[in-house]
Amino acid sequence: MSEIVRLYSYKDLFAGRRAVGKAEIMAKLEISEATFKRDIAKLRDQLHMPIAFNRDLGGYTMAPGHDDTELPGLWFNQEELLSLVTIQQLLEQLEPGLLGAKLKPLHTRLVQLMEKHGLASQDVARRIRMLNVGKRTVTAHSFEVVAAATMARKRLRISHFSRQNGKTTEREVSPQRLVHYRDNWYLDAWCHLRDDVRSFSIDAITQIKVLDTPVREVPDADINAAVDAGYGIFGGAPKGWATLKFTPERARWVAGENWHPHQRGSTQADGSYVLEIPYSDERELMGDLLRFGADVEVMAPPDLRSRIKRALHEAVGRYV
């Protein structure tokens, strides 16, 4: 157990207790008497935690009225720290406008909370670097209108540019939820043109208008089945499973990665790693696989293997 974790364990031991004996503390924390003495001295003298020995009760207690004492400085695990900094940066990136004004108090409160625990917001921003690779620009107006309609449960009339075919289509949609995926914003909505659930990249919405018509409500289970079943941002029921074999060198990274909630993975005798994931649209999956080059081989299905093979041949042809 690290010293930081151990010192915080003392506060948990004293919470809601009248007194805790030295022997009990040493046993629970698995420490020696010398370490116990050093810990008590540090908690009292350096971290100003009001610990007192009560002779009548035969143990150590927190001074009356200080049960909620916080240790100066707050250590987070990786998920908590990432969440904290992500929220802070998202709030800072909002331009002045409808949501920016409404969320300003939240940002102020977050800064106060961080400073209370010894994490000056400016210092955290300087010490933790978050890289946004491939982030596309969303105008404040488009994001605010989409978000407002989603919360107000109003339909939208949008003109959406499809990067796949280069065409812009006008359609009426019932917004269901906003999605932040790979540093970009998407709208999951019921498309009244296609009569199905679709995901729209908000930065690709060229025109937008809020309608007075109430949305068509779609159960969460139906939305999840439509957009979360396959790999990546593209929705639809899975049309197959991709079997991917990564080289032993690349397996050192991939074996620890989460590509899909229902993925299956296994390490082979030669150190390679076989990953199986469901997909409904191969576009994003192909883009991710092509980044690995010779470090991955598509074993199945044959159609996906042929597509990757053709894409690699075309790529090589550009360098002839």
C-alpha 213, offset from chain centre: 33
Q: How far apart are CA 245 and CA 308, in angstroms?
A: 13
Asked if the domains 146-214 and 240-317 are classified in one and the same CATH topology, the answer is no
Please say if the pLDDT value at position 126 is more than 70. no
| pLDDT at residue 116, rounded to an integer | 59
CATH 3.30.70 fits 240-317, yes or no: yes
Residue of 126 and 81 predicted with greater confidence: 126
Give the chain as a DSSP string: --HHHHHHHHHHHHTT-S-B-HHHHHHHHT--HHHHHHHHHHHHHTS---EEEETTTTEEEEPTT-TTPPPSS----HHHHHHHHHHHHHHHHPPSSHHHHHHHHHHHHHHHHHHHTT--HHHHHHH-----TTPPP--HHHHHHHHHHHHHTEEEEEEEE-TTT--EEEEEEEEEEEEEETTEEEEEEEETTTTEEEEEEGGGEEEEEEEEEEPPP--HHHHHHHHSSSSSS--SS--EEEEEEE-HHHHHHHTT--S-TT-EEEE-TTS-EEEEEEES-HHHHHHHHHTTGGGEEEEE-HHHHHHHHHHHHHHHHTT-
- Nearest CA-CA partner of 170 in 161, 183, 158: 158
Angle between helical axes of 3-14 and 22-29 (0-180°, round to 10): 140
| pLDDT at residue 54, rounded to an integer | 86
Please say if the pLDDT value at position 249 is more than 60. yes
Are 22 and 36 in contact by the 8 Å Cβ rule? The answer is yes
Are 186 and 200 in contact by the 8 Å Cβ rule? The answer is yes
Q: How far apart are CA 254 and CA 243, in angstroms?
A: 13
- Nearest CA-CA partner of 147 in 171, 179, 110: 179
CA angle 44, 48, 53 (to 5 degrees): 40
Give percent of the chain above pLDDT 90: 43
Residue of 182 and 24 predicted with greater confidence: 24
- Tens of pLDDT, residue by residue over 179-193, are 888 878 899 999 999
Mean pLDDT of 28-38: 91
| pLDDT at residue 142, rounded to an integer | 84
Please say if the pLDDT value at position 106 is more than 80. no
Q: Which two tokens stand for residue 10?
A: 């003392």
For the chain, which residues make up each domain, given as ranges? 3-62, 78-127, 146-214, 240-317
Give percent of the chain above pLDDT 70: 76
Residue 20: count other Cβ atoms within 10 Å of its Cβ.
19
Which residues are bridge partners to 246 per DSSP? 273, 296
Give 1-24 as a DSSP string: --HHHHHHHHHHHHTT-S-B-HHH
Overall CATH class of domain 3-62: mainly alpha
- Tens of pLDDT, residue by residue over 192-209, are 999 999 999 999 999 999
Are 148 and 189 in contact by the 8 Å Cβ rule? The answer is no
Q: How far apart are CA 223 and CA 198, in angstroms?
A: 9
Mean pLDDT of 230-243: 79
Low-confidence winner among 34-48, 126-140, 304-318 (lowest mean pLDDT): 126-140
Please say if the pLDDT value at position 50 is more than 60. yes
Q: Return the CATH fold of 146-214.
A: SH3 type barrels. (2.30.30)
| pLDDT at residue 9, rounded to an integer | 81
- Tens of pLDDT, residue by residue over 150-169, are 989 999 999 999 988 889 99
Please say if the pLDDT value at position 94 is more than 80. no
Residue 56 banded pLDDT, cuts 50, 70, 90: confident
Q: How far apart are CA 164 and CA 205, in angstroms?
A: 14
| pLDDT at residue 66, rounded to an integer | 54
Mean pLDDT of the residues in the chain:
82
Q: How far apart are CA 267 and CA 143, in angstroms?
A: 43
Mean pLDDT of 256-273: 93
Q: What is the pTM (predicted TM-score) of this model?
A: 0.58
